[in-house]
Amino acid sequence: MFHSSVVKAFLGLSIVTACGACGSDGRLAEPGSATGMNVLIVTIDTLRADRLGCYGHTGARTPTIDALAESGLLFEQATTVSPITLPSHASIFTGLVVPNHGVRHNGTFKLSPDATTLAERFSASGYDTAAFVSAFVLDRRYGLNQGFTDYDDRFETTIDAGPGSYPERPADAVTARVTDWLRARADARRESPFFVWVHYFDPHGPYEPPAPFAESFSEAPYDGEIAFVDNELARLIDKLRDLALLDDTLILITSDHGEGLGDHDEATHADLIYDSTMRVPWILSNPRLFPNGNVVRDRLAATIDIVPTLAALTGLEPAGPVDGIDITAAPVAGRAVYLETLAPLLDYGWAPLYGLRRIDDKFIQAPQPEYYDLASDRAELDNLYEDRKDAGGLRAELSARLADWPDAFEVAGIQKELTRDELERLTSLGYVTGQAALPPGTRDPKAMMPVWHRINEAGRLSVRGEHAGAIVAIREVLQLDPTDGKAWSIAMQIYDRAGQSTEAETCARRALQLRPTSGVWVNLARFALNRGDLATFEGALAEAQRLDPQNGGIHIGHGHADALQGRYDEARKEFETALRIDPVRSGPAAREQLRRLDALLESRADDTKQ
């Protein structure tokens, strides 16, 4: 006797095998062939495709992912649409390119409630939905929780460990939460299928795999982080097998972006759009649908294809327009996928990057444009633009697409020209004008990587307490690049840690002109309060509140002022509010303030007794 889903799976199997063998229409799976199946999406943050065994890396230890590919479709050429975690995940779950969902960067954008997410669609079709995310950049406050009944975003680390670090939790803790959820669901004998998203963050820097991976990958710690995640994924797969769910679960493995690892002088990701950070794994696995591994080389897959592909295979009702395609349908000739990063502009005031990627070539619009023949130059080292200025038609096509969207400078609220006022201010602060003071958006990010390294070095020196060296490094950056908002905010932190509050406040004010953030306003408020300037203090906190009402630092600031003025009950309430609404970012500081308040009140009580 066959269960109906088994029959369906066998139908799927035969068709896939036939297609794989004949390839006549290029279809890889039948629409509806995964109807009623569970769906598990695993996004492994910062995972370069070429660091997996199944994508050809001989130094990899990724047996779990390799085995999933052996009972699945592995798309050899797959691209993300953004090298930044939140925008990229927003594209994964909406099927839209970044300008169409509007989440252009981490931290300051939120997915609109008007967006329709894959989780909402599965939820509306009767699936149980749950997400387990591992980094604060995907906290529910940024809107990706839409459609998930359970959205587990508890992070274990909270303290800022220096530049480039994020509150996160390790893969073993995430897997434990997912397996608990699966077990509870089995105990409750849930009949409906599930849609689960698991996000592992470990390959993101800093590369510090736990034992025994630290030892066995001491020369390649990034690979060690990936091996650790693979090992944790094995525990999750084992749980599905134990619960007899594996054969009925469609599993998708991908990443939000890769990692530079020094290619093009880029250490991490977000500021350039080469394949080092844009090419991602894209593996669709199920032992019944794809009994034999199939490496797909005849098409370019993209992360925006996840929504339409999973919707087609599971038979969801068609939803509103998406930019992606059902990647298991026949290949689309000449398909060009839109890529962008606004991080260079939003963070540093450098030029934004836009690109179009086809399977065998790529055009990047930048102050110095680039065009690569990927078929012969996968590493993107030989820029052909000077000889092929039409970029095989991609330049005109990109211009046409960009014309449909709001200008990135408007989105960012950044003016393209330096005002006379700004130039005068830069001069008065002692920074070189003229060539150095180029208007925002002029500098080519690929030429700015040495500056990027110097900024990060300054931050690292400061965190280690080497204040003099940090100040030298950051002043050097500001001389070279005086319109770099991020450099000014890092300079603020460096002077603050060094105890030079006047300089720190000057840097905060400059950072706020170039790249206003809630965090810098909170710092300005603190500097002003310490000077006794209550008007600036209140104004700065109001601005911080306007930009990010969930910034707990605002309440810590108010509490601090209350405590200074003897309003201890009000102070306690503010610190408790900070702890409640923003535990990840403000928890440590709020707890410290509460501890100080208790100590203060205790010592006053003692004084009274004496």
**Please, what is the minimum distance in Å from the beta carbon of residue 85 to Zn ion?**
3
**Please, what is the minimum distance in Å from the beta carbon of residue 48 to Zn ion?**
12
- In this complex, which beta carbon is closest to Zn ion, that of residue 12 or of residue 258? 258
Across 35-152, where does the E strand assignment appear? 38-44, 72-75, 78-79, 128-132, 150-152
- Which helix H or strand E contains 252, and what residues bound it? strand 249-254
Among 84-92, 216-224, 427-435, 439-447, which window interacts with Zn ion (CB under 5 A)?
A: 84-92
- In this complex, which beta carbon is closest to Zn ion, that of residue 137 or of residue 514? 137
314: phi then psi, degrees, rounded to nearest 5: -90, 0
* Residue 570 · residue 555 · CB < 8 Å: no
> What number of helices (H) and strands (E) belong to the chain?
23, 14
User: Measured at CB, which residue is nearest to Zn ion?
Assistant: 85
Residue 214 burial (CB < 10 Å; 0-12/13-18/19+)?
Answer: middle
**Please, what is the minimum distance in Å from the beta carbon of residue 46 to Zn ion?**
5
- In this complex, which beta carbon is closest to Zn ion, that of residue 256 or of residue 574? 256
* Residue 90 · residue 105 · CB < 8 Å: no
**Please, what is the minimum distance in Å from the beta carbon of residue 398 to Zn ion?**
24
Q: Which string of x and - marks every residue 246-285 that binds Zn ion (by CB under 5 A)?
A: ----------x-----------------------------
Strand partners, 423: none
3-state secondary structure of 188: coil
Interface with Zn ion includes 85 (CB under 5 A)?
Answer: yes
The C-alpha angle with vertex 321 and arms to 318 and 322, in degrees rounded to 5, equals 95
Strand partners, 279: 79
* Residue 289 · residue 295 · CB < 8 Å: no
Count of residues that bind Zn ion according to CB under 5 A: 3
Interface with Zn ion includes 202 (CB under 5 A)?
Answer: no
Stretch 515-544 residues interacting with Zn ion (CB under 5 A): none
Contact with Zn ion (CB under 5 A): which of 16, 44, 45, 521?
45
Residues 409, 345: Cα–Cα separation, whole Å: 8
Residues 216, 198: Cα–Cα separation, whole Å: 26
Among 77-85, 92-100, 298-306, 506-514, which window interacts with Zn ion (CB under 5 A)?
A: 77-85
Residues 494, 6: Cα–Cα separation, whole Å: 62
Angular region, 229: left φ>0, alpha ψ -120 to 50, beta rest: alpha
Residues 260, 257: Cα–Cα separation, whole Å: 10
**Please, what is the minimum distance in Å from the beta carbon of residue 247 to Zn ion?**
31
Interface with Zn ion includes 128 (CB under 5 A)?
Answer: no
Q: Is the peptide bond before 318 cis (omega within 30 degrees of 0)?
A: no
- In this complex, which beta carbon is closest to Zn ion, that of residue 45 or of residue 152? 45
- In this complex, which beta carbon is closest to Zn ion, that of residue 41 or of residue 508? 41
Cβ partners under 8 Å of residue 496, min gap 6? 504, 523
**Please, what is the minimum distance in Å from the beta carbon of residue 387 to Zn ion?**
35
Stretch 431-490 residues interacting with Zn ion (CB under 5 A): none
- In this complex, which beta carbon is closest to Zn ion, that of residue 66 or of residue 259? 259
**Please, what is the minimum distance in Å from the beta carbon of residue 164 to Zn ion?**
12
Q: Which string of x and - marks every residue 217-236 that binds Zn ion (by CB under 5 A)?
A: --------------------
Among 24-32, 44-52, 454-462, 524-532, which window interacts with Zn ion (CB under 5 A)?
A: 44-52
Q: Which residues bind Zn ion (CB under 5 A)?
A: 45, 85, 256
